[in-house]
Amino acid sequence: MNEDEKLGFAHLIEKELNSEDKIFKPDLTQKTGREFLAFYLQTKFKQVIAYDNKAPIPIFTDIKYDFIQRFSKRLIQNPQKRIMIGITGESASGKSTICKEIKRVIERFQMPVTILTTDNYFNDISALIAKYGSFDALRDNGYDVDSPNSFQLDILKADLEKISQGEDVYSPEYLLNGTGVSVPQAKLVPSNKIVIVEGMASMYGDNKDIYDIKIYVETDLDIRKERFLKRAYTERNQDLENAKKHWEYIIGAGEKYVKPYKADADIVINGDSDLNYFAQILEYIHTITNNFED
């Protein structure tokens, strides 16, 4: 390991910013300019992966061999399309936390970003909850909460297609108050240049085909269980017995409905990685894509 690798991404960022050997900014209105940028980015992204592989706890646990080439090609062929990033993973894997970190870093550079959670596309089950008396009773009577059939996937697909082409939409809002109510067209979802869609349902059906980058977050089972139970009784006011019962349901549902999409992911991320380290990677990617000679 050389000295740069020991110092990590913070050192690489400083080195990149202070370099006197910068390339001229390519003309992105021309295909040749976009092709040059794509080649440049492929080289730099491979550098990112190589450095991460040498980290004590790498954040990238798997990357499809042709992902960088495919993504670069898409940028060349259709530069106006929104960059659509889909993030999935089993419950309590860290999807929302990683999304918040991506948003925080991107917004620090004054770049508009949209985060859409697919949890808002749950079906309205208020009538069923009224019938059985509670969400837990409904689940105990066989309602498969995390099944693809429990989501409004047709509406999600239509919304994603509109957003990808630059159209703002109003998504449903699923109320987290135990009533099971889904309010249609309740939340404005702006179509910013970068759109991150997170949640177990993000890859369900053929919705996965709309993403330019598909990310699967994988985390140790014991860490997930600890996170889930803590969230259940501190944020959602569930008693511990019900939380444990729901956890048992979630393990089976995750194996059945979510884990298969790991095979479709372009990138598999370690959900227990250091967020500060992750932020450094994002900052470095921003630096290499914006640090050109005028």
Q: pLDDT for 40-84, tens place per residue?
A: 778 888 888 888 888 888 999 999 988 888 888 887 788 778 989
d(CA 219, CA 154): 29
- Expressed in angstroms, the distance from the first to the final Cα of the chain is 34
Q: Which of 2-11, 18-27, 172-181, 212-221 has the lowest mean pLDDT?
A: 2-11
Confidence of residue 284 (pLDDT cuts 50, 70, 90): confident
Check whether 93 has a pLDDT greater than 90: yes
Q: What mean pLDDT do residues 194-214 have?
A: 93
Find the helix or strand (DSSP H, E) in which 267 lies. strand 267-270
Higher pLDDT, 237 or 252: 252
Give the rounded percent of residues in the chain with a pLDDT score beyond 70.
88
Check whether 6 has a pLDDT greater than 50: no
pTM of the full structure:
0.87
**What average pLDDT does the chain have?**
87
pLDDT tens, position by position, 141-180: 999 999 999 999 999 999 999 999 999 999 999 998 889 9
Q: How far is CA 79 from CA 29, 35, 42, in A?
A: 9, 11, 16
Q: What mean pLDDT do residues 249-278 have?
A: 93
Check whether 88 has a pLDDT greater than 80: yes
Do residues 132 and 138 lie in contact, with contact meaning Cβ atoms separated by under 8 Å? yes
Helices 275-290 and 31-53 meet at what angle, rounded to 10?
150
Q: Which domains does the chain have, with CATH numbers?
A: 1-59+274-294 (no CATH), 60-272 (3.40.50.300)
Confidence of residue 237 (pLDDT cuts 50, 70, 90): low
| β pairing state of 213-218 and 83-89 | parallel
What is the pLDDT at residue 5?
A: 44
Q: What mean pLDDT do residues 91-113 have?
A: 88
Check whether 291 has a pLDDT greater than 60: no
Which tokens belong to 198?
């997170």
